[in-house]
Amino acid sequence: MKKIFKKIILIICILLFLVLLLKFFLWILKIEINKSPNHYTVEQINPKTYSKYNDFFNTATYLAPIPGLKEGAVPQSICYINSKNLFIIAEYHIGKAPSVLQIVDENGTYIKSIILKDTQGKNLNAHVGGIATDENTLWVSDEYKLYWYSLDDILSLSSMESISATEYKELNLKADFITYNNQVLWIGEYEYKPFYNSSKFSKSINTNALLIGYNANDFSPEFAFSLPKKVQGIVWNNDNLIVSDSFWFLEDSHIKEYEKVLETKIEKNIFIDGKEIPLRKLEDSRIIYERIAPPMLEGIELVNNKIYMVFESGANNYKYYTHYKVNGLYTLSLNQENI
């Protein structure tokens, strides 16, 4: 009986120790994530490869380290400014620090960091899910909100200066990722039930996560697609749609190209923002290209037939539990064969 009692006491002591250790870990993490950086660094690295993803690393090209990872910034999306040969990477912080734009050149060389503010001039402490540009405006998405910024003003600022949004709009659907193509701003939702649900609007019309194409001039809806699960980013390749998908660090990521999606049959018509538009479905039968990638792939961009990719796994906040860390900006040529 005494031996059993001693074992129980020992187990209780071990559990108490683990609880205290966990509290200490969370306290350290809380301090770390609530810091507001006064600068961002580019940590030169020897990019890691992993045997499980040999096919990816043997064909993808490492371009450059992503700025801000050491300071806890989490990359979410990327877009290209064609007239300036520059990329913008949008990052958020898990904590109170504001979201930030990292601007790099076509080789991935760091140029500057720009702090985001809302229309009231307050720090945009948001999960910036997507960015897109038409060479004049930079759109930034956050949950059910879309913000407008002047691209010229962004490019004129010095590093660590801030910029306020000129406009914002509340949306019916979640703006988890966005892209711009031919006068249309595309806004899409991420869904992976039961962990992540799409908007109430999507549920109200009995469909999966939605991708809506808005006329960029008057913001009227023109196109709609029902999406597969886990979509993190999209980019157009002429009439084809390229999609990235992932779910945290638990599953492989994928890059898929769907052929001539606007020729897909119309499933039904839906009403959104007072307008009736056709709803199509992104069908697996239209996939003509597919690659497996490491976990936690986020936004993608297409430039000169190369897909540019950002992963969030290299962020400092994931260092304790993410095994497959991808710390840099990678490219993948669409000319390579499928796997």
pLDDT given for residue 36 in this prediction: 78
The predicted structure's pLDDT at residue 16: 66
Radius of gyration of the chain (CA): 21
pTM > 0.85: yes or no: yes
pLDDT at 187: 98
Tell me what pLDDT residue 37 has: 85
Chain segment 225-251, per-residue pLDDT in tens: 999 999 999 999 999 999 999 998 889
Higher pLDDT, 211 or 321: 211
Sequence-distant (≥ 6) Cβ neighbours of residue 37 within 8 angstroms: 68, 71, 72, 73, 97
Mean pLDDT of 241-268: 95
Q: Is the pLDDT of residue 339 over 50?
A: no
Nearest CA-CA partner of 132 in 302, 339, 17, 248: 302
Q: Is the pLDDT of residue 252 over 50?
A: yes
Share of the chain above pLDDT 90, in %: 71
pLDDT tens sequence across 120-159:
999 998 888 899 999 999 999 999 999 999 999 999 999 9
Query: Residue 19 pLDDT more than 80?
Result: no
CA nearest to 115, candidates 160, 151, 146, 78: 160
pLDDT band at 303 (very low <50, low <70, confident <90, very high): very high
Assign a CATH topology to domain 53-333. Tachylectin-2; Chain A (2.115.10)
pLDDT at 25: 52
Yes or no: say if 298 and 313 are a contact pair by the CB < 8 Å rule. no
96/31 Cα distance (integer angstroms): 10
CA dist., res. 42 & res. 69, Å (int): 8
Q: How far is CA 330 from CA 107, 254, 296, in A?
A: 11, 14, 13
Q: Which residues have a Cβ under 8 Å from the Cβ of 146 and sit 6 or more positions away?
A: 139, 140, 168, 169, 171, 175, 178, 187
Res 199: pLDDT? 87
Q: Where are the domains of the chain?
A: 1-33, 53-333
- DSSP assignments along 68-89, one per residue: TTTTTEEEEEEEEETTTTEEEE
The structure tokens listed for 196 are: 């992540």
Alpha helices by DSSP H, 122-164: 151-156
What is the rounded CA–CA span in Å between residue 330 and residue 59?
A: 10
pLDDT for 81 beyond 70: yes
Q: What pLDDT does 275 receive? A: 95
User: What's the confidence (pLDDT) of residue 320?
Assistant: 76
* Lowest model confidence (mean pLDDT) among 105-119, 184-198, 216-230, 309-323: 309-323
Q: Which residue, 238, 236, 255, is CA-closest to 298?
A: 255
pLDDT band at 31 (very low <50, low <70, confident <90, very high): very low
Distance CA 199, CA 131 (A): 20
Q: Which has more pLDDT, 32 or 195? A: 195
Going through 31-136 in order, the beta strands assigned E by DSSP cover 61-65, 73-81, 86-93, 100-105, 110-117, 128-133
Burial per residue of 101-123, b for 16 or more beta-carbon CB atoms within 10 angstroms, e otherwise? bbbbeeebebebbbbbbbeeeee
Q: How far apart are CA 115 and CA 39, in angstroms?
A: 10
- 196-206, pLDDT tens digit by residue? 888 888 888 88
